[in-house]
Amino acid sequence: MSVRIGELARIRSRHPEAIAEAAARRGRRPLLGESGRLMVIAADHPARGALSVGDRPLAMAARPDLLERLCLALSRPGVDGVLASADVLDDLLLLGALENKVVIGSMNRGGLAGAAFEMDDRFTGPRAEDLAALGFDAGKLLLRIDPGDAGSLRTLHTAARTVDEMAARRLPVFVEPFLSRRSGGRVVNDLGAEAVTRAIAIASGLGGTSAYTWLKVPVTEDPADMARVMETSTLPAVLLGGDVGGDQDAAYERWRSALRLPTVQGLVAGRSLLYPADGDVARAVDTAVGLL
């Protein structure tokens, strides 16, 4: 699909109600389809100011290119839906790319990459009421916990209340938990088995009920630890397909192994599939789907 940014801007300026109208007529589907597995493409990075891919610092800033990659990924067999911020989802609605797809709104993007307040991750994205009003299917929140940063407490408290608000509307919420720390001015997530275990335990206990809570978890530094780590909770989980570095095949093998675990229901991957090293988005997405 060729995306004409001028046409999107024209609709937004003259007919802003077109977004809500597109949401109202969008065909919907269950969160889990017949396969019982979930394959979601993530594109919520720009709203946190995280625009880089590899050695290209502004790769995700080119919106027409990002939308074309997303539309291609969503068109591939076996792809269930998308996770994105409100502006990206609005664009995809106008493009008609969300028909019969799972739509997940990214709820907290206030912890801007590199900011002094990064751990105070305010909920600046869609609220539970917004997701319900637009007929979207779920929300996602990022929960980074740094014991040395008081901003984490505000994030933790707000995350718990958001779990309650989503449950009140019977909307699933995907919680992405990390134990984190600052190193050299950057926030670094600890992917060791003990840290991931503690993060999962904390995330699972948020709110007044966990009935509608899912986990979005990274594969540990040592994939052999994943079976023990995932015994920490009975909540359904999806894998976080983060940056894969230079060895995409090794990353796929880590995902394949973790997808066999009983609580793991699927995969959510973003830059690694939208911006693969060889540039072939369709092949990268099809390979990831094949892992399920």
Domain ranges of the chain: 5-291
> Which H/E stretch holds residue 288?
helix 281-291
What's the CA gap between 207 and 173, in Å, rounded? 11
Is pLDDT above 80 for 1?
A: no
Give a three-class secondary structure readout of 32-97.
CCCCCCEEEEEECCHHHCCCCECCECCHHHCHHHHHHHHHHHHHCCCCCEEEECHHHHHHHHHCCC
Mean pLDDT for the chain overall: 94
The percent of residues above 70 in pLDDT, for the chain, comes to 98
Instruction: Among 76-90, 152-166, 250-264, name the one with the lowest average pLDDT.
Output: 250-264
What's the CA gap between 169 and 163, in Å, rounded? 10
Task: Please report the pLDDT score of residue 243 as a whole number.
Answer: 67
What's the CA gap between 3 and 199, in Å, rounded? 39
Is pLDDT above 90 for 244?
A: no
Task: Please report the pLDDT score of residue 221 as a whole number.
Answer: 84
pLDDT top residue among 248 and 69: 69
What's the CA gap between 142 and 158, in Å, rounded? 11
pLDDT top residue among 203 and 113: 203
pLDDT top residue among 9 and 245: 9
- The 10s digit of each residue's pLDDT in 176-224 is 999 999 988 889 999 999 999 999 999 999 999 999 999 999 999 888 8
DSSP type of residue 219:
P
Q: How many CA atoms lie within 13 A of 42 on its CB side?
A: 27
Q: Mean pLDDT throughout 72-101?
A: 97
Q: Mean pLDDT throughout 230-240?
A: 97
171: nearest Cα among 184, 160, 162, 181: 162
In 115-223, DSSP assigns E strands to 138-145, 173-183, 186-189, 213-218
- The 10s digit of each residue's pLDDT in 248-276 is 788 888 899 999 999 999 999 999 999 99
Instruction: Among 6-15, 51-60, 117-126, 169-178, name the one with the lowest average pLDDT.
Output: 51-60
Query: Under CATH, which architecture does the 5-291 domain have?
Result: Alpha-Beta Barrel (3.20)
Task: Please report the pLDDT score of residue 2 as a whole number.
Answer: 75
